[in-house]
A = this chain, B = another copy of it.
Amino acid sequence: MHTKLSIIDTLKKHQLSVTDARKNILSLFSESGNALAHANIEKQSSAEFDRVTIYRTLQTFVEKGIIHTIPSSDNSVKYALCKDECAAGHHHDDHIHFICDFCGITYCLDQITVPKIKLPNGFKATQTDLIVSGTCNKCEQ
Contact = CB atoms under 8 A, between A and B. Distances in A.
Interface in A115-133: 115, 117-133
Interface of A: 69-77, 96, 98, 101, 109, 111-112, 114-115, 117-138, 140
Contacts of A96: 117
Given A72-B71, A126-B134, A128-B130, A119 B98 contact: yes
Contacts of A128: 130-133
A70 B76 CA distance: 13
Given A75-B77, A129-B73, A130-B130, A137 B117 contact: no
14 contacts: A71-B131, A109-B119, A109-B120, A112-B117, A112-B119, A112-B120, A117-B130, A122-B140, A123-B135, A124-B134, A124-B140, A125-B132, A126-B134, A129-B133
B101 A123 contact: no
B132 A119 contact: yes
Nearest to A78: B73
A74 B73 contact: no
Contacts of A119: 98, 109, 112, 132
A99 B48 CA distance: 37
A128 B137 CA distance: 17
